[in-house]
Amino acid sequence: MKVYGRITVFPNMPARISRLYELAYNLWWSWHPEARALYSTLDAELWERVGHNPVRFLSEVEPYKLEQAAEQAEYLQAYDSVIKDFDHYMHPRPDETWFSSSYPELVNTTIAYFSAEFGLHESVPIYSGGLGILSGDHCKEASDLGLPFVGVGFLYPQGYFHQRITRDGVQEAIYDKLHFSETPAIPAVGPDGNEVVISVDLPGRRIYAKVWKLMIGRVPLYLMDTDVAPNAPADRELSARLYGGDREMRISQEIVLGIGGVRALRALGISPSAWHLNEGHAAFLNLERCRELVATGLNFNEAREVVAANSLFTTHTPVPAGNDAFSFDLIDKYFSSYWGQLGLNRDQFIDVAREDQGWGATYSMTVLALKLSDHHNGVSKLHGEVSRKMWQFLWPGIDVDEVPIDYITNGVHTFSWIAQEINVLFGRYLDSDWGRHVDEQAFWDQHIDALPDKELWRVHVQQKEKLIEYSRKRLIQQHLRLGEGSTQIAEFGQILNPEALTIGFARRFATYKRAALIFRDLNRLHKLLNNPQRPMQIIFAGKAHPADEPGKALIEQIYRASRSEEFKGKVILLENYDIDMARYLVAGTDVWLNNPIRPYEASGTSGQKAALNGQPNCSILDGWWAEGYNGKNGWAIGEEREYHNQEAQAEADSLSLYRVLEEEIIPAFFERGSDDVPHRWVGFMKEAIRTCTPQFSMRRMVKEYTTRYYVPEVQQSKGMAENNYERARILAHWKEHIRENWNKLELYVDGRRDGQLSLGEGIDVHAWVRIDGLSPDDICIELVYGEIKNEIAQPQFARPMSFTKRELDGSYRYDIHLQPEESGSIAYNIRVVPSHPLLTEKYELGLIRWA
Ligand SMILES: *Cc1c(COP(=O)(O)O)cnc(C)c1O
């Protein structure tokens, strides 16, 4: 029949356990194993069949199983205990969460977090990869820490695709309809009690989006869906797929996400005082906030000051395809009725986001986000550096090290990724309440040795066996579907050797991640995999973006290897990588391999998940691993450098990978003590746990975002709003004034240009500045000095020079005495930068004058 409506009908629930419903509608259950068990123990087979989705589970479970459970003492005890924990979690005392006890004055504010994808759980397929997982983990930790946090995104009716791999290794993308009635999302209601539907204008039409609410512990996530009645059929499909469709689809989605997202919050009666743009997809939100302010009487520059002051933009990738940009044609088509509402003309509007770095001018979402936010960060130390270089052109004249893009290294939500048995092990040997100490390095330093080698190894082997069993099941399913014969199917039931060193490689098949690097020298790989004394095997998994042909070719290459006589049973490719599979892999393989082209892996997080489960990483020194690697917690591939030639880079990296495997990893893994435990190997495992769990935890990360960005943003936004945005007006006018007069500034310096000094001696430096149209209060004059390394002067220190007097000719004189503290070769210079107490970033204007 043709479907008009679809409703999920639940059986009558015994009153004694009726709150199983409520629990199903809050993803809190997903990171609390006792809560998960309330469903899975009722009917383990059904729990698997419904993809661990408790909403579906409750609609399909046999009523008698509920009746039985409601009379079983053991079940009821578990139920009561979970409900008690849940209630306590949802309604903590004010001193019980980190945020409310650290910032009691800010508990009634709101931090809004925008992302195109959220990876929360396998049963809510609205994520594609690392960016989504990061957003999902961020929300969970924000909830755990008690942040007044709301997420904004899309509820994609078809989500991201399911991957199937054909007999020839070709990836097929299958889109299944996600029935919202079978997800934990419910229609969001506004203050008036009505369901919230918002609208945005697209060329020639208005389109509507319904807002859904999904609870992640204490954090609400608002998700928009355009599949609503007033929209034309094509527009109803607009939010159907994550990263699907053409450029028009993409810009329309981003308009709904950014502009519609702000309208959704307003309709819900929510006024955030800090805004976080997780990647550039949501950057239109800052335009919409400007538009709101322009409508109240501010001009665009003033509005920009208000918006930027409490806006944080996190950039996630140096890969060009990951930085959205649109042609000016598209911008004309979609925004010609919008820029007037900002008080801008077309050229001014486009200028805000113009990028012209050699491939033709485009409207860049990253530039838009950078220019309309005062706070910016990358996602690892190295990625911060790379981003400063990449976007330096927006701050011309500013040294690359001083480009205002900082970094906070990514982390993972510990309880979403730790295997239950490892969790229990930590509880037994580290501390029964170890979860409270996740981000405390001292806790791990102090307790890690209490973990007996033998126990950790036993539990690890158990995880590996679980993974093997899971892999066999998945391979059998896949090949039954492909119609293979019973002998082959029987082989898949025996595949993978629990004794072999098992390498895990699972992530999106983007080409920069070089999934096939280990296949560069087939002979050498063949020897590694087929050594009867020291066998090795590799499990691959991952999806390629449906439009990424080279990525799909990599899948094909690995699939063919997995079916070849040489590598059969030693190289495995599992289809449809998702959060569920990731949990098996990060706990169950022995070594987590990552070999991207440095420096394209902005952070990477799967290796962090592996490490906390006791799995050492073997990785290129890129992203988080460049910070995490300490020589004892895993292995480094290649050198800490970049190459100009990717072929040379791949050759060098693959040689390094083979060498590390042959000389370090394999010998350590197969060295067994008299008790059959590989103590040296377990040493690597423990060191991975000790060093990576706290440092790369989502808890450390969200605390950093809070103290370094959210809290200052909230405070700044208060100041900005006072007296009808007085500060914003002052700042905007001051900036206009500075920009008009900056070119007239003249600078003369008198100081020694070369020569020698003895340590303890110094030199005097004088500077004269002529600043027609400006006042000395508008500028800051600094002496900058530092060592000379490889013929490059490092601007290590900046010291303000003091104003001495106004000369007769009208110029201002500044003096300083420079006395180096160490011997060596140093360079110095004098610079002038605009200065104002209301500036967020010293170099916000991108103006600078060097002598
Ligand atoms: C963690 C995770 C990722 C991200 O992995 P990277 O190492 O950052 O590439 C992608 N997909 C899934 C399903 C994950 O769990």
Q: Please report, for the chain, the start and end positions of each structural domain, with discontinuous segments joined by +.
A: 15-90, 94-157+217-222+256-410+704-724, 418-696, 745-850
The minimum-distance atom of ligand 1 relative to the CA of 412 is 1
Q: How far is the CA of 509 from the centre of ligand 1 (A)?
A: 11
Which pLDDT score is estimated for 321? Answer: 78
Ligand 1 centroid – CA 544 distance (Å): 13
Question: What is the best residue among 163, 417, 508, 618 to mutate for testing ligand 1's pocket, by most ligand atoms within 8 Å of CB?
Answer: 508
Q: Has residue 568 got a pLDDT over 80?
A: yes
Measured in angstroms, how far is the CA atom of residue 200 from the centroid of ligand 1?
Answer: 33
Please state, in angstroms and rounded to a whole number, the distance separating the CA atoms of residues 547 and 770: 57
Residue 251 has pLDDT above 90, yes or no: yes
Q: What is the pLDDT of residue 792?
A: 80
Confidence of residue 823 (pLDDT cuts 50, 70, 90): confident
For residue 272, whether the previous peptide bond is cis, meaning omega lies within 30 degrees of 0, is no
Residues of the chain with pLDDT > 70, as a percent, come to: 100
Nearest CA to ligand 1 atom 1: 606
CA dist., res. 193 & res. 188, Å (int): 9
Cα-to-centroid distance, 815 and ligand 1 (Å) = 54
Please count the CA atoms within 13 angstroms of the CA of 568 that sit on its side-chain side.
8
β-bridge partners, 198: 209
Residue 276: φ, ψ to 5°: -120, 120
- Å from CA of 635 to ligand 1 middle: 20
Of 181, 184, 165, give the one whose Cα is nearest residue 173.
Answer: 165
Return the pLDDT at 337: 95
pLDDT of residue 396: 85
Domain 94-157+217-222+256-410+704-724 and domain 745-850 have a common topology: no
CA 86 from centroid of its chain's CA atoms: 27
Q: Kindly give the distance from the C-alpha atom of residue 540 to the centroid of ligand 1, in angstroms, as a whole number.
A: 13
Buried b (16+ CB within 10 A) or exposed e, 369-392: bbbbbbbbbbbbbbbbbbbbebbb
**Is pLDDT at 506 greater than 90 in this prediction?**
yes
Average pLDDT over residues 147-154: 97
- Give residue 792 CA to ligand 1 midpoint distance, Å: 38
Question: What is the structure's pLDDT at 366?
Answer: 97
Ligand 1 midpoint to CA 479 (Å):
25
CATH topology of domain 418-696: Rossmann fold (3.40.50)
Cβ neighbors of 631 (< 8 A, separation 6 or more) are none
Closest-CA residue, ligand 1 atom 11, reads: 129
pLDDT tens profile 622-672: 999 999 999 999 999 998 888 889 999 999 999 999 999 999 999 999 999
Buried b (16+ CB within 10 A) or exposed e, 582-595: bbbbbbbbbbbbbb
Query: Among 43-57, 106-120, 278-292, 779-793, where is mean pLDDT lowest?
Result: 779-793
Q: Where are the alpha helices (DSSP H) in 706-792?
A: 711-741
Residue having the nearest C-alpha atom to atom 9 of ligand 1: 507
Q: Give the residue-averaged pLDDT of 509-526.
A: 95
Q: Stretch 828-846: mean pLDDT, rounded?
A: 90
311 compared with 360, residue with greater pLDDT: 311
pLDDT at 464 over 90: yes
Residues ≥6 apart with Cβ < 8 Å to 761 = 819
The ligand 1 atom nearest the CA atom of 507: 9
Average pLDDT over residues 736-757: 89
Residue 602 has pLDDT above 90, yes or no: yes
Calculate how far, in angstroms, residue 160's C-alpha sits from the geometric centre of ligand 1: 14
Q: What is the pLDDT of residue 9?
A: 77
Distance CA 382, CA 438 (A): 24
Indicate which residue's Cα is closest to atom 8 of ligand 1.
Answer: 604
> Is pLDDT of 220 > 90?
yes
Of 399-403, 443-447, 452-456, where does mean pLDDT reach its minimum? Answer: 399-403
Task: Determine the atom of ligand 1 nearest the C-alpha atom of 623.
Answer: 8
Residue nearest to atom 5 of ligand 1 (CA): 606
Q: Which two tokens stand for residue 260?
A: 């519609």
**Residue matched to tokens 């019973």:** 486
**pTM (2 d.p.):** 0.95
Distance of CA 621 to the CA centre of its chain: 19
- Neighbouring residues of 195: CB distance < 8 A, sequence distance ≥ 6: 187, 188, 189, 210, 211
Range in 98-102, 283-287, 398-402, 591-595 with the lowest mean pLDDT:
398-402
pLDDT at 185: 95
Given this model, what pLDDT does residue 364 score? 97
Q: What percentage of the chain exceeds 90 in pLDDT?
A: 83
Output the pLDDT for position 843.
85
Specify the length of the chain in residues.
851
Counting ligand 1 atoms within 8 A of each CB, the residue from 122, 380, 507, 511 with the most, and so the one to mutate, is 507
Class at the top of the CATH hierarchy for domain 94-157+217-222+256-410+704-724: alpha beta
Tokens 């006072």 belong to residue: 722
User: In which band, very low, low, confident or very high, does the pLDDT at 353 lie, cut at 50, 70 and 90?
Assistant: very high
**Looking at this protein, which amino acid is placed at residue 681?**
W
SS3 52: coil
Alpha helices in 530-665 (DSSP H): 549-563, 579-588, 606-612, 625-628, 646-660
- Model confidence at 362, pLDDT cuts 50, 70, 90, reads very high
User: Any residues with Cβ below 6 Å from ligand 1, and which?
Assistant: 129-130, 133, 507, 577-579, 582, 604-607, 609
| Per-residue confidence (pLDDT) for residue 616, from 0 to 100 | 98
pLDDT, residue 773, reads 86
Angle formed at CA 370 by CA 364 and CA 372, multiple of 5 degrees: 100
Probe target for ligand 1 pocket from 126, 133, 242, 417, with the most ligand atoms within 8 Å of CB: 133
For domain 745-850, the CATH class is: mainly beta
**Ligand 1 closest atom vs CA 513:** 9
Q: 617, 410, 597: which is closest to 513 by C-alpha?
A: 597
Mutate which of 383, 583, 584, 605 for ligand 1? The one with the most ligand atoms within 8 Å of its CB, which is 605
DSSP string spanning 385-426? HHHHHHTGGGSTTS-GGGSS-EE----B-HHHHS-HHHHHHH
Closest among 842, 837, 849, 843 to 734, alpha carbons compared: 837
Q: pLDDT at residue 358 above 80?
A: no
How do residues 265-313 score in pLDDT, each as one tens digit?
Answer: 999 999 999 999 999 999 999 999 999 999 999 999 999 999 999 999 9
Cβ of 430: how many Cβ atoms within 10 Å? Answer: 18
Q: Report d(CA 203, CA 235) in Å as an integer.
A: 12
Q: Is the pLDDT of residue 688 over 90?
A: yes
pLDDT at 132: 96
Whether 187 and 193 have beta carbons less than 8 Å apart is answered as no
What is the rounded average pLDDT of the residues 611-631? 98
